[in-house]
């Protein structure tokens, strides 16, 4: 029997026929009889940063009444390195009220998602983003996504270089098609046939086999979880700032329950690249994956599987061939944590920064906690920038000396003080229900209550202030990077979670499955004795993840 090549996945056909990501999206937007778009077009809108969703809380009621699902759209901004001006923040705040569900959702990749935009509001919403000099191009889809970078403005010069690199990488790897502008902004078709007019020099007609993600970390902070990325860049700082990067490849978090062919993986350190060659390096990594990634099986299409199947040495050889030069041996680096440094800090240039904990990234006005209004007020007078962190938090950054008092007073007046508990400060949950179509269990709506219960347990053994990283997702896709948390909870079924333990505090080692299918009480029962043992038996300075690896998981 001969080895037949496997047929391409359906998404490959959709991309190939799409005339560079146009499909029939424009026609679907004009169709008033449904709140949805054509199915194939919903795959293409992802490349435009737009996901069709429906409110899952309303599904049973609407099905009973034989109504169409309550369709709406999630849109995701592209914000390299997570930086927004106050004017942009104010515009996005208004947009959330006028076109979406009155909330802004800070994501684990340093951007904002809007939920609940109905079809007729989509175009005006995107146009409002464009008017604020923002866009949603390539925020999702089989392309390079939002490039993220350490949100640490305290070392101003180095941070500025990392941000500049993130922006340059994002611009270089952006699709060239004018489809986004044509559909959402000006409505004008490019004359002379899109295919010829818009060759995609990097991606070609069918783009990447799957999503592709890049992060830049500036040690000692691994606040971007650099090892979770297809391509990770670890800044090496010398005289004059960032002189180059250690390069990691093949990280990724997603897996499918019960399918051992899928797994989370942390990236391999491949070598060192001088700073002036980093764009060329990134492009060639993309090209190797573009040409060798699996286009038949989407669950097997990320770079991590290409590398796992063919080997790191093969990958390095394929990369070197395209580069025409060799990576240098990696330089030493040291990470200390994946979390943000919450609260006030100062940089050498006389500016201050306040890192605000935003629970699970949801910026909303709630009774007793008017976070959204408070941030809009601060954006009204703030003279610096806002930086969204990859931990779903927000840095009110670059505050000049004369502006600090006003920010401090707004924080105090609106009760925005950061939480005291070490577990909550290091907690993160993905969106999950009711908007995520893939959620198997609650996440964002459940984690705050679980953390309260776990903090009681920690307080009982004297560990209330202990910094422990906990992350939850409503399914195994890994959107809050739960496999890199000291306590990872991964949704299995409504109300049931797999408990993973043992990741390193600095994000350099993944956790492992400890117990499966736990409900709320079972999660507490599993962790209670471990917290007690940790309080009693830990080595000086030992983090909870290391302790769990040494004790509970070793047993
Ligand atoms: Fe994610 C799919 C939300 C970061 C791995 N992710 C989704 C979708 C779009 C569901 C869907 O496909 O229908 C979720 C939308 C939920 C909603 O209602 O908003 C979603 N992912 C998120 C966000 C908003 C989670 C959050 O709470 O912040 C993050 C948005 C990031 C951004 O701004 O771009 C988010 N997703 C991640 C990360 C973390 C990261 O990149 O650092 C991962 C793991 C890293 C990785 O890619 O391996 C991640 N998301 C996935 C996967 C699994 C991909 C895989 O190849 O294994 C899916 C499912 C898929 O693509 O088929 C997914
Ligand atoms: Fe949805 Fe799963 Fe991602 Fe959570 S981890 S947002 S449930 S896809």
Q: Which residue puts its alpha carbon closest to atom 59 of ligand 1?
A: 477
pLDDT reported for residue 1: 43
Pick the closest to residue 148 from 217, 93, 228, 49 (CA basis): 217
> What is the three-state SS of 236-255?
EEECCEEEEEEEEECCECCC
Is 503 close to ligand 2, i.e. is its CB under 6 Å away? no
Q: Compute the mean pLDDT over every residue in the chain, rounded to the nearest whole number.
A: 96
3-state secondary structure of 544: helix
Known catalytic residues?
Answer: 76, 145, 211, 213, 430, 436, 475, 479
Which ligand neighbours the alpha carbon of 428 most closely? 1
The backbone torsions φ and ψ at residue 387, rounded to the nearest 5 degrees and listed phi first, read -125, 120
- Residue-wise pLDDT tens digits, 419-455: 999 999 999 999 999 999 999 999 999 999 999 999 9
Asked if residues 230 and 252 have their Cβ atoms less than 8 Å apart, the reply is: yes
Q: Ligand 2 centre and the CA of 40: distance in Å? A: 21
pLDDT reported for residue 153: 87
Spell out, as residue ranges, where the chain has pLDDT lower than 50: 1-2, 192-193
Inter-axis angle of helices 520-537 and 447-460, to 10 degrees? 40
**Domains (ranges, CATH) in the chain?**
7-143 (3.30.70.3340), 146-176+208-338 (3.30.413.10), 343-418 (3.90.480.10), 423-550 (3.30.413.10)
d(CA 149, CA 224): 6
Q: Which residue puts its alpha carbon closest to atom 5 of ligand 1?
A: 479
Pocket (CB within 6 angstroms of ligand 1): 51, 53, 74, 76, 107-109, 111, 113, 145-146, 210, 213, 228, 252-254, 302, 361, 392, 430-431, 435-438, 477-481
d(CA 254, CA 217): 21
Which atom of ligand 1 lies closest to the CA of 252? 48
pLDDT reported for residue 476: 98
Please state the pTM of the whole predicted model: 0.97
Mutate to test the pocket of ligand 1, among 108, 231, 391 (most ligand atoms within 8 A of CB): 108
d(CA 523, CA 517): 9
- Residue-wise pLDDT tens digits, 398-417: 999 999 999 999 999 999 99
pLDDT reported for residue 192: 45
The Cβ-side half-sphere exposure at 233, using a 13 Å CA radius, reads: 30
Q: The tokens of 217 are what?
A: 């970390």
């Amino acid at each position: 029997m001969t080895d037949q090549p496997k047929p391409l996945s359906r998404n490959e056909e959709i991309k190939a026929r799409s005339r560079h990501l146009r499909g029939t999206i424009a026609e679907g937007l004009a169709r008033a009889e449904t709140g949805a778009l054509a199915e194939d077009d919903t795959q293409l809108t992802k490349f435009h940063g737009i996901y069709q969703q429906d409110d899952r809380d309303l599904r049973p009621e609407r099905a009973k009444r034989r109504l169409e699902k309550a369709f709406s759209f999630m849109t995701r901004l592209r914000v390299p390195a997570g930086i927004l001006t106050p004017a942009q923040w104010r515009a996005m705040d208004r947009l959330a009220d006028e076109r979406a569900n009155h909330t802004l959702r800070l994501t684990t990749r340093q951007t904002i998602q809007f939920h609940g935009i109905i079809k007729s509001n989509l175009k005006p919403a995107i146009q409002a983003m464009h008017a604020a000099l923002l866009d949603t191009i390539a925020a999702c889809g089989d392309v390079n996504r939002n490039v993220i970078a350490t949100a640490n403005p305290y070392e101003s010069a180095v941070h500025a270089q990392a941000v500049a690199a993130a922006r340059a990488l994002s611009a270089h790897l952006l699709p060239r098609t004018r489809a986004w502008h044509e559909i959402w902004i000006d409505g004008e078709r490019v004359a002379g046939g899109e295919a010829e007019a818009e060759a995609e020099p990097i991606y070609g007609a069918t783009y990447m086999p799957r999503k592709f993600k890049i992060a830049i970390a500036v040690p000692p902070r691994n606040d971007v979880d650099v090892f979770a990325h297809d391509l990770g860049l670890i800044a090496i700082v010398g005289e004059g700032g960032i002189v180059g990067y250690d390069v990691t490849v093949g990280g990724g978090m997603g897996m499918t329950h019960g399918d051992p062919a899928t797994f989370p993986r942390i990236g391999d350190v491949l070598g060192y690249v001088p700073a002036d060659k980093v764009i060329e390096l990134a492009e060639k990594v993309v090209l190797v994956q573009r040409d060798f990634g699996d286009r038949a099986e989407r669950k097997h299409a990320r770079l991590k599987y290409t590398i796992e199947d063919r080997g790191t040495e093969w990958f390095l050889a394929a990369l070197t061939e395209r580069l025409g030069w060799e990576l240098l041996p990696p330089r030493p680096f040291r990470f200390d944590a994946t979390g943000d440094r919450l609260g006030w800090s100062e940089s050498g240039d006389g500016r201050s920064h306040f890192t605000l904990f935003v629970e699970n990234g949801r910026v909303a006005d709630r009774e007793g906690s008017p976070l959204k209004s408070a941030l809009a007020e601060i954006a009204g007078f703030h003279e610096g920038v806002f930086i969204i962190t990859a931990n779903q938090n927000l840095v009110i950054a670059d505050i000049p000396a004369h502006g600090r008092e006003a920010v401090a007073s707004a924080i105090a007046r609106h009760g925005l003080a950061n939480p005291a508990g070490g577990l909550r400060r290091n907690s993160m949950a993905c969106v999950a229900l009711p908007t995520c179509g893939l959620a198997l269990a609650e996440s964002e709506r459940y984690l705050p209550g679980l953390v309260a219960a776990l903090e009681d347990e920690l307080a009982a053994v004297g560990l209330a202030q202990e910094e422990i990283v906990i992350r939850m997702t409503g399914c195994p896709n890994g959107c809050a990077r739960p496999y890199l948390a000291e306590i990872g909870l991964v949704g299995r079924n409504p109300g049931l979670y797999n408990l993973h333990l043992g990741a390193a505090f600095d994000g350099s080692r993944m956790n492992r499955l400890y117990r499966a299918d736990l409900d709320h009480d079972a999660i507490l029962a599993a962790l209670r004795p471990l917290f007690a043992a940790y309080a009693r038996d830990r080595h000086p300075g030992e983090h909870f993840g290391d302790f769990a690896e040494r004790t509970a998981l070793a047993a």
